[in-house]
Amino acid sequence: MADSRASTESANPASERPVYVIGGGPGGLAAAYALRARGVRAVVLEKADGVGASWRRHYDRLHLHTTRRLSGLPGLPMPRRFGRWVSRDNVVRYLEKYAEVHELEIVTGVEVFRVERSADGTGWLLHATGGRELTGGAVIVATGYNHTPHVPDWPGRETYRGELVHASEYRNAKPYAGRDVLVVGIGNTGAEIAVDLVEGGAERVRLAVRTAPHIVRRSTAGWAAQYTGVLVRHLPVALVDRLAKPMAKLSVPDLSAHGLARPDTGLYSRVNEGSIPVQDVGLIDAVRKGRVEVVGAVEGFEDGKVALADGSRIEPDAVIAATGYRRALEGLVGHLGVLDGRGRPLVHGARTPANALGLYFQGYTNPISGMFRELAIDAEKIAKTVARRGGVATRDALTVEGRAAR
C-alpha cells in the first residue's frame, strides 16, 4: 500500500480538500455516492480489506428484516433475484457491486483513530494508521451502529467453566448441536440465534430476558411490518403507542404463561429509548412449544454456574451474550463535545454540531422504518448540505494515494 500524502494534504486550500467518509459500510457508501452525484469528491476510509466488513461477520442465517424494495441505497436498487428478505451474503454482494458501479473512491486498510480541527480552522485533520494525517473539508463518520461488541461485566464471570462468547462470534448452530445453551438478551439478534440453535439441534435452549420486548410479525398477509414503521415514523409517540396495543393483541399471542408477558410501556416509546421491536422469525412458535425456555435475567456467575434474577442457578454448556454493541466513538470524536452521556452523537444526518461545523454522523440511529432506508435518505440530505456549503474538492481534484477498492 502506498503512503498517503500526510505532509502535503494539510497545506492544501479548503477548496481542494475532499470529504472524508470514515467507514465502508452501507451508510458510508451511500454518503459517498450521494456526494459524488453532486460533483463533490468523497474518499471512503475503511479499516478492513473490503466494504461491508461488519456484514461479513454476521451469523449465517441473517436476513434483512426490511424489504428489498425499501432497502436499496441511492442510485442502485437491490436485484429482484435477492428475494423479499435479503440474505447476509447478498447484502455483501450488493455493497461490493454498489462500490463498483458508482466507482467510489475507497481506501482500505486505513483506520482513523482521531478527528480534530485543522490548524487553520477551515477543515478537519484525521489521524490514521501508518502515521497518516489527512485534511478534509468535511468529515462524515459512518463507523457503524454495531461497532464494538459489549459483554456486561457480570460478577464472577471468570469462574464460569463453560463457553462464553458474544453473539458477534456466533455463526451457526453446528458447534452447539446436542448442547445446553443459554442465550442472553432478547433483541432481534438473541431471538434469532435462539431459534437457529433449536433448529440446528441444540439439546436445550434457554433465553435470558430482563425486559420483555414488543414482538411483531415480520409480515402479515403480505404487509411487511416495515411498511407500518414508515407510516408511523413521524406520528406522535403516544398515538402510535395506542394504535399498536390492539394490533399486538390481534397478531401476537399472549406468551405470559411461557415467561414473556406483554410489555407495560408502549411500542413507540420503547423505540425512542433505543429498543426496536423483535420481528418474529420463529420465536413465537418456539416459545409456545417449549423449545425455547424463557428464564430470568443474568445477574452474575457463582461457582461456575449462571445466577439468574429469580435466585436460581443454572449450568449450561455455553452462554451466548446477545448483549449489544457500543458505538465506540469516544476516542475518535469524544474530545470535540459532540457526544451525549451514552456516547451517542448529539445530532445526526444533515445536522452538524454548532461547535463542529462540517462534521456529520451517518447511521447511529436504529429507526422503526428500517436502517437501510433511513441511511439512504440521510445520505442524500448530508450530500445536499455539504455541496451547498462548499469548501470541498470536486471530483476532478488530485486523487489520494492508497489502495483503492473497486
pLDDT given for residue 273 in this prediction: 86
Report whether pLDDT(10) > 60: no
Amino acid at 350: A
pLDDT given for residue 272 in this prediction: 86
CATH number of the domain residue 190 falls in: 3.50.50.60
Looking at 287, 321, 355, the residue that finishes a domain is: 321
Buried b (16+ CB within 10 A) or exposed e, 298-318: bbbbeeebbbbeeeeebebbb
Return the number of other C-beta atoms located less than 10 Å from residue 388's C-beta: 9
Residue 231 buriedness (CB in 10 A; 0-12 / 13-18 / 19+): exposed
pLDDT given for residue 14 in this prediction: 56
d(CA 53, CA 33): 18
pLDDT given for residue 80 in this prediction: 98
Looking at the structure, do residues 184 and 248 belong to the same domain, yes or no? Answer: yes
Q: Is the dihedral of CA 174, 175, 179, 185 positive or negative?
A: negative
pLDDT given for residue 13 in this prediction: 56
Looking at the structure, do residues 121 and 178 belong to the same domain, yes or no? Answer: no
Of the two residues 58 and 5, the one the predictor is more confident about is 58
pLDDT given for residue 405 in this prediction: 39
pLDDT digits (tens, 9 = 90+) for 338-359: 999 999 999 999 999 999 999 9
395 is a domain residue: no
Strand 42-46 and strand 19-22: the pairing is parallel
141 is a domain residue: yes
Average pLDDT, the chain: 92
Looking at the structure, do residues 176 and 309 belong to the same domain, yes or no? Answer: yes
Inter-residue contact 87 to 66 (CB < 8 Å):
no
Span of 18-27, 75-84, 88-97, 269-278 with lowest mean pLDDT? 269-278
Report whether pLDDT(289) > 90: yes
d(CA 354, CA 260): 44
Residue 278 buriedness (CB in 10 A; 0-12 / 13-18 / 19+): buried
pLDDT digits (tens, 9 = 90+) for 68-91: 999 999 999 999 999 999 999 999
Looking at the structure, do residues 306 and 338 belong to the same domain, yes or no? Answer: no
d(CA 236, CA 257): 32
394 is a domain residue: no
175 is a domain residue: yes
Of the two residues 204 and 6, the one the predictor is more confident about is 204
396 is a domain residue: no
Looking at 321, 341, 360, the residue that finishes a domain is: 321
pLDDT given for residue 333 in this prediction: 98
DSSP codes of every residue in 125-182: EEEEGGGEEEEESEEEE---SS-EE-----TTGGG--SEEEEGGG---SGGGTTSEEE
Residue 251 buriedness (CB in 10 A; 0-12 / 13-18 / 19+): middle
d(CA 287, CA 167): 20
pLDDT band at residue 161 using 50, 70 and 90 as cut-offs: confident
Longest CA–CA separation in the chain, Å: 68
Looking at the structure, do residues 315 and 333 belong to the same domain, yes or no? Answer: no
405 is a domain residue: no
Looking at the structure, do residues 170 and 226 belong to the same domain, yes or no? Answer: yes
Looking at the structure, do residues 121 and 201 belong to the same domain, yes or no? Answer: no
Report whether pLDDT(133) > 70: yes
d(CA 142, CA 126): 14
How far CA 182 is from CA of 166, 185, 369, 377, in Å, comes to 12, 10, 31, 38
* Structural domain that includes position 300: 150-321
d(CA 293, CA 182): 9
How far CA 36 is from CA of 41, 189, 217, 374, 386, in Å, comes to 6, 34, 38, 19, 11
d(CA 144, CA 229): 22
Report the first-to-last Cα separation within the chain, whole angstroms.
Answer: 15
pLDDT given for residue 4 in this prediction: 38
Looking at the structure, do residues 101 and 236 belong to the same domain, yes or no? Answer: no
Looking at the structure, do residues 260 and 155 belong to the same domain, yes or no? Answer: yes
Looking at the structure, do residues 279 and 156 belong to the same domain, yes or no? Answer: yes
362 is a domain residue: yes
pLDDT given for residue 327 in this prediction: 93
Looking at 293, 321, 349, the residue that finishes a domain is: 321
pLDDT given for residue 235 in this prediction: 94
The residue-averaged pLDDT of 307-335 equals 96
Looking at the structure, do residues 235 and 370 belong to the same domain, yes or no? Answer: no
Q: What is the domain count for the chain? A: 2
pLDDT given for residue 12 in this prediction: 56
pTM of the model: 0.91
pLDDT given for residue 125 in this prediction: 98
Strand 313-314 and strand 163-166: the pairing is unpaired
The residue-averaged pLDDT of 229-234 equals 93
Report whether pLDDT(317) > 90: yes
pLDDT given for residue 402 in this prediction: 37
193 CA to centre of own chain: 17
The residue-averaged pLDDT of 308-331 equals 96
pLDDT given for residue 406 in this prediction: 36
Report whether pLDDT(149) > 60: yes
Looking at the structure, do residues 250 and 309 belong to the same domain, yes or no? Answer: yes
Question: Which residue, among 51, 149, 46, 159, has the nearest Cα to 100 in the 3D structure?
Answer: 51
Question: Which residue, among 248, 298, 258, has the nearest Cα to 278 in the 3D structure?
Answer: 248
pLDDT band at residue 16 using 50, 70 and 90 as cut-offs: confident
Query: Which residue(s) pair with 240 in the sheet?
Result: none
pLDDT band at residue 158 using 50, 70 and 90 as cut-offs: confident
Report whether pLDDT(223) > 80: yes
